[in-house]
Amino acid sequence: MRHLQAGNREKAEEIFQKKETYSSLINSGVLAFIDGNTATGFDNISKVVHNSAYRAELLQALGIANLQISEDDLAELVIAELLKEVSASKLLSTCTNATDRDIVSKSALDEPISAINSAIAVAKNADTKNPEASLAAGTQLMNSTKAPLKAVKDIAGASSPQYQMVVDNVAKQVLQCGINYYNNAPDSDVESPRKAMVLQSYALSIAVGQLTKDRCKENYDILKQAVDNMPPAEVAIEARKVKEELRKFCQLPDKISHSVTLLNSTKPLLQTIKSKLGATNSFYLSLSTQVVGNALHNIIEEVNQAQNYFMAVIKAVKESGIDPSLLNYMGDDHSPAKIIDNKVKPVMREAWNATVLMDSFDMESDFKTNRYNPNRQSLKEMCESLKISTRVSTPRVSTPRVSTPRVSTPHTTTTATRTTSSSSSSTYKPSTSSSNTSSSEKNGGWVAFWIVTIICAFWGALADGRGFDFGGFLAGAALGALIPGNIARAIFKD
């Protein structure tokens, strides 16, 4: 001690090294700690604690030889004091004794785990219906627990139950905060997917347990799709307005008039987006295709409805036992000719006018080739068969045409769906036999005569005992087929 008081540490250390005793170990350990050598310092102290002879001598020197204290209890007392001066992770790295390691781990984990649990409790108390409060709570939880989580991981190890439990709890609460924010964010918050993705990505990155990882991955994938579908910042306002029109459209009946309203209300918005992003931009084409696809759905539905009505009336007339020859003299609104004039043809005209309007919209190549163009062509043939003009305003050079028989070929039907609360499927009914009709334009009176003539010919065949073939009759009446595709409507969060 005199050497130390004189500042001669080397001489003091030589004396401590001459003989190993409980006191020399403690003194050498203290010097090592002063020098910053935690490993040597703790090793010396640990020897005194875990050596029964040294421990007894220490208690004797302290005058408490009769004190009933176990080896582990003494180790806990010493380590608790050391942790006030040395970090747990640093002290743990020097532990060579299994008992010491367990004690350091337990003592060192209490503080960070307690801090983590407190932060989780604060986040849970945030107003789940308030998007900004949820976002702030999730962000605060994410940032405030990074250091404590690292401490638990360093002390207990990444595979330890302690670490896996607390890190999964943090991941689940950060994830929930992100969900609460995104689900309650107003439509005006166009950046909500990107903001929520910060929390969801972090939750997925730290999750350890398989159940927690699966839940985080599921929500991450959903949100990633929303982020991928986000409009570029420069067209966010226009895109939001288009999607609002689509949302309102999805709540309306399947009427062509609503399709026309949708097309007219979104066209200027889409033109603005096109001018900013370019005609080949994938986001612009996708959004424009969504509009056309939804509008096309209503056209298909109402045309089918008109045809179904016509078919039902014809079936009712057949089943009534009316003499087919009397159909020539049916003049009321329920005669086949009147139904075509009053119920079918107006719908076809409206459908064609809406289609001409859709022609001015840009579409994705696959949709236009495989869905839109086949439907358009089929509807055009149906209209022409009913002598409904399908001319567009584009000037064309007129050339003489020769009237030749035309065969109507059946089209394969597929399904068109609109993504609403209750999706419905619809198809334009296909023709099942060929018809011979002139492709030349006819005047209105001739058209009526032509339709009645076909009906009479049909019923004449029935009267002759040749049976009822409505598919053939429908083809004869020139009501062709359209091919709706699987047209997904826009999906909106509640």
In the chain (494 residues long), the average pLDDT of successive 10-residue segments reads 86 87 90 88 91 89 82 89 84 85 84 94 96 96 96 88 95 96 87 92 96 95 88 88 94 95 97 96 94 95 84 73 58 67 88 96 96 93 88 58 36 38 35 31 30 38 35 34 35 29
Distance CA 231, CA 242 (A): 11
Q: DSSP character for 437?
A: B
Residue-level pLDDT at 191: 85
What CA–CA distance (Å, rounded) separates 359 from 370?
15
Q: How many helices (H) and strands (E) does the chain have?
A: 22, 2
Q: Are strands 425-426 and 416-417 parallel, antiparallel or unpaired?
A: antiparallel
From the centroid of its chain, how far is CA 296? 24
pLDDT recorded at residue 332: 62
Amino acid of residue 417: T
Cβ neighbors of 318 (< 8 A, separation 6 or more) are 462, 468
Q: Which two tokens stand for residue 405?
A: 């028989």
pLDDT at residue 238 in the model: 93
What H or E segment, with its residue span, contains residue 345?
Answer: helix 345-358
CA dist., res. 185 & res. 135, Å (int): 10
Residue indicated by tokens 């972090």: 202
pTM over 0.85: no
Sign for the pseudo-dihedral over CA of 157, 158, 159, 160: positive
pLDDT at 429: 35
* pLDDT value, residue 326: 60
d(CA 166, CA 187) in angstroms, rounded, equals 35
Largest separation between any pair of C-alpha atoms in the chain:
137
Q: Which residues contact 156 (CB under 8 A, 6 or more apart)?
A: 105, 109, 162, 163
How many Å apart are CA 169 and CA 208, to the nearest integer? 10
**Cβ partners under 8 Å of residue 28, min gap 6:** 13, 16, 17, 40, 44
User: Does residue 426 sit in helix, strand or coil?
Assistant: strand
Cα gap 233→194, rounded to integer Å: 12
The Cα–Cα gap between 190 and 244 comes to 13
CB 364 within 8 A of CB 286: yes
What pLDDT is attached to residue 226? 87
As a whole number of angstroms, the distance between CA 239 and CA 241 comes to: 5
Q: For position 478, what pLDDT does the model report? A: 33
